[in-house]
Amino acid sequence: MKKGNRVIDFGCGCAEPLILWAEEFGITGIGIDISEDFCDRAGKKLVMRGLSDQIEIVCSHAADYVFEEEAFDAATCIGATFIFGGYQKTIQTIKRAVHQNGRLGIGETHWLSNQVHPEYAQKQTTTHTESELTQFTRDEGFELEYIIRASNDDWDKYISDGWYGLIRWLEENPTHTDYEQVFEHFRTDQDDYLQFQHQYMGWAMYCLAPMKSRSTGSHL
């Protein structure tokens, strides 16, 4: 990324990546997210950081957002491919936003091996091995250019932050009508992580570059 590049981020959350890229590289861009709370928080941060003229936040379901095709230098979807129905369908959608040399950035889970416990595999039907993700990438006319992989410590911190927030909520809302439902979710999430997810699943951000065959001019 460099000054003047345009980036569109689908499922931008509180816009942390866009803010980072705007401050570090001088990009402009659009972030789309369905959560009004996230959009409000993103807007306030942009004002505080003096970036409101560089980054626009659109509160909408990202799959419904009508974007200008071939108008961006990069399109990203970090940890939100469920918006479009999975990794390959995400590529199929967001690649239309970038010009012929544009990059895609996708954050996605992956199986660490082909030997996944059947009970957990049935819960995660859209998760694939990295070999499968690589093939999907090539099928859509791109090549895997760069990987930033989450470590075990990254996973532990990410998951533990969720547990911390759930326990705080349970402590502060002992009489809430949703207490038992939240408590059950907390226990299930914790058991899934400790029994299965930590052992079988990884997470990484993938940078995808468009690649064409030199001899035929067609996508590989």
| % of the chain surpassing 90 pLDDT | 89
Structure tokens at 155: 């996973």
Q: What is the pLDDT of residue 114?
A: 86
* CA nearest to 116, candidates 205, 203, 206, 198: 198
Instruction: Over range 52-78, report the average pLDDT.
Output: 96
Per-residue pLDDT tens digits for 100-158: 999 999 999 999 988 888 888 888 888 999 999 999 999 999 999 999 999 999 999 99
Q: Average pLDDT over the chain, rounded to whole?
A: 93
Per-residue pLDDT tens digits for 61-73: 999 999 999 999 9
Q: Are 77 and 106 in contact (CB under 8 A)?
A: yes
Q: Are 97 and 69 in contact (CB under 8 A)?
A: yes
**Class of CATH domain 6-150+200-210:** alpha beta
User: Where are the strands (E) in the chain, listed by range?
Assistant: 6-10, 28-33, 55-59, 72-78, 98-111, 142-149, 201-210
**Coil, helix or strand for 98?**
strand
Structure tokens at 32: 């789309």
Instruction: Over range 161-173, report the average pLDDT.
Output: 97
Q: What is the pLDDT of residue 195?
A: 92
Q: Which carries the bigger pLDDT value, residue 29 or residue 126?
A: 29
d(CA 54, CA 65): 19
What's the whole-model pTM score? 0.88
Q: Where are the domains of the chain?
A: 6-150+200-210, 153-196
Q: Which carries the bigger pLDDT value, residue 113 or residue 165?
A: 165
User: Where are the strands (E) in 87-200, listed by range?
Assistant: 98-111, 142-149
